[in-house]
Structure 1
Amino acid sequence: MKMGSKHVLQKPKLELFHIIKEATFIPVKNINFVFLTIITSFPLFCCLWYYEILLQSILSQIPRILKEPPFFYFTWPTPFDIINNLHAEFHYRLVQACLLYLVPLHLLEFISAFMSVSIASKIYKEKQMSLNEMFEKPIHKAKLRATFITSLYAHVLSTCTLLGLIWLVTTYFAIFWKSVVDVFFAVFHGAAFVALLMKYMEWSAAWKMSVVISIVEEKYGMDALVISDYFRRGSEQRGLFLMLFFSGWDFVIRVVGLYWCGIILQVCLLCLCNTMKWMASMVYFYDCKSRIFEKKVDEEMGKEIKGIDEQSSLARE
């Protein structure tokens, strides 16, 4: 009797809601994790607080920079008009915000993510830990350094993609906005921006998974990126929706913080969003990993049963 190749009943994929739910239950399982997260996120909170003040001051000046002069014609603005509207303080704040994003903010986010994912992965596997055990567990410098290299790769790739998005927006407003070919270039730049943004979200899921792999699986650098790409096969859309959810959360927090609540509450919510994002990335990784292993077992069992079927057919003949 012939049998199909699908013999293992696979668990259904965790969709976006279930991934968020699993990540939310991690601190519920062990309240000590909340205290650890608050302690390890405090340096990130301080740096993010200063960064958000700079960012808000920069964004508030953009309408003034793009403001139309009283004598403008349909070809305004030109790059020279925009440059003339810039002043030294704006340049200083912009450079300062860029340097904060590239170095200290990334380093502090990495430390927070490393500690959170290291402990959350054990809690997710149903291991009970006291607060003392969380702090007493030694941190191997070699593992920390190697994981940082993976996060550095991810940070460089992420920054380059963000620069591409900024370049698309800048070229449109600096060269083509309110020109005779405005409609054509608005459609072209808009489509290119949306396409690159979607790819950025999809790639972000892979980059974050590579850092998670470095923390829990001890695979580093390009190896972690390759493994992340392998585990995500067939689950790219879930990673895209996951990053879209947290990016939307991040955007809403910034808008609400800009108009309705203070900077302190805004930064607290951003730190919470950052921690949840890493825990959700960890749950996403474990789910993708389990599906790959189930698929391998299913294929091996299918080959074995196919061989038995062939032997039975030969014996009957």
Structure 2
Amino acid sequence: MNFFFEVLIGGLLSGVMYALVALGFVLIYKASGVFNFAQGAMVFFAALTCVSIVNRFGLSLWFAVPITMAVMVLLGLAIERVVLRPLVNQPEITLFMATIGLAFFIEGLAQMLWGAQVQRLDLGIEDVPMESLLNTFNIVVSRFDVMAACICGVLVAGLAFFFSKTKIGRALRAVADDHQAALAVGIPLQHIWAIVWSVAGFVALVAGMLWGARNGVQFSLTFIALKALPVLILGGFTSVPGAIVGGLIIGASEKLAEVYIGPMVGGGIEGWFPYVLALLFLLVRPEGLFGERIIRRI
């Protein structure tokens, strides 16, 4: 039983980190109605920029993080001004294709500026078992995973409150419902998009630092975005709480499946089980647990 809880807790902690990545997608989708294919590239760009500032210029992490945050805000503003603003009121597929091109551009820009070699990012959090849980319950849980989950949880909760209780959050929901109507009542669409992309850049920075510290800062961070797809399908593309719940479900289920089902099928189930779960879920509730049901009248 202790081993079961050990696997479950580890999966839930990973799920919180998945939720943080998914949150970046939710913010962009709520504001523009398009799936931001470039979110994974933004995670990679943020992590690589931060660790390169530390390694190349000899600055401490405390100085590198604000500098990288400024860079990500500028990147978000530039994306809104150069890419999104000319595409206002264009079909959703046009915006989606724009984010695909943007993803390749950001990936290439990051490696052109900082190189493509794997770099180590040290956040000062040791990846060792927590002694309190080990001594009390005989459960091995990584201290890094717990700290990372706490950071992600605080950030997700703060953003959920910000976008649900503030004036900017209400404006965001209005823009998400109808661009034309929002413009008609005086909501500045470009300003909302700029804010959302800047916040998405900040989320990408935090996610990139945590995943980079865990797995190394490398190009494979761009594939973290793919981990968010099952989370979004389960939780709903427009729901911040859905991103949290979906992340927890995916994180826990993939770890439990790897341990208890993996030996029956030869292992490797952790990589594809979340997508099978999401596919099955699509058959039952395509809009997700917290997504809005769309009714079209013909």
TM-score, scaled relative to structure 1? 0.28
TM-score, scaled relative to structure 2? 0.29
